[in-house]
Structure 1
């Protein structure tokens, strides 16, 4: 039953993200808004409850399969991207570097805090 409770939390955060995007019209994915809401709730809670961890673990294992439909969808609009390859490549490089440096910074900070406590 703990996984079901955790899955309910994940669904509620996603649904709240859907409602926020629908009523505000902001151009951000409802999944991103839901994850930000979940992140805020977990930060206030001070950690990840066992139920949320039990529900999220199988989803993480299938992450590649969950991403595939979006990646496949790009091939259906490839002709619309024809004149934008420079912008796409630059944004991919900058986004990748930003992601790597952010991950490294966060890892160093968390490991320093872990060793200090």
Structure 2
């Protein structure tokens, strides 16, 4: 029963996100808005309920299966990717570098705030 309750909460948040995204014609996917709704709900509640933890851990156990369709898409559309290989490669390198810099900046700032800075 706890698993059903946890999955129901996850699906309800996704449904709310879809309603908001379509109702307000936002360019943000409904599941992303649903995750924000879930985050706000968890912050208000103060902890993760056992049923939600059980459902989330069950989904995470099979997360690697979600990469299969992406791998198949890479193989099927390899010629299209080959045509735009340089823009894709540059985008990947630049976005990774920006992510690393922002992460380091945020970590440094949090360390300084806690008094652990040099």
TM-score (norm 1): 0.68
- In structure 2, relative to structure 1, the CA distance for the partners of 1:34 and 1:109 (3 Å cut) is farther
How far 1:18 sits from its partner (Å)? Answer: 1.9
Q: Which stretches in structure 2 are left out of the alignment for 5+ residues? A: none
Partner of 2:22: 22
Q: Which stretches in structure 1 are left out of the alignment for 5+ residues? A: none
Q: Over alpha carbons, which structure has the higher Rg? A: 2
Which structure: greater helix fraction?
Answer: 1
Partner of 1:90: 90
CA–CA separation in structure 2 for the residues paired with 1:106 and 1:60: 27
Moved more, 4-13 or 75-84: 75-84
Partner of 1:55: 55
Q: How many residues are paired up?
A: 112
Moved more, 88-97 or 12-21: 88-97
Question: How large is the Cα RMSD of the aligned pairs?
Answer: 3.1
1:68 aligns with 2:68: yes
TM-score (norm 2): 0.68
Aligned partner of residue 93 in structure 1, secondary structure? helix
How far 1:93 sits from its partner (Å)? Answer: 2.4
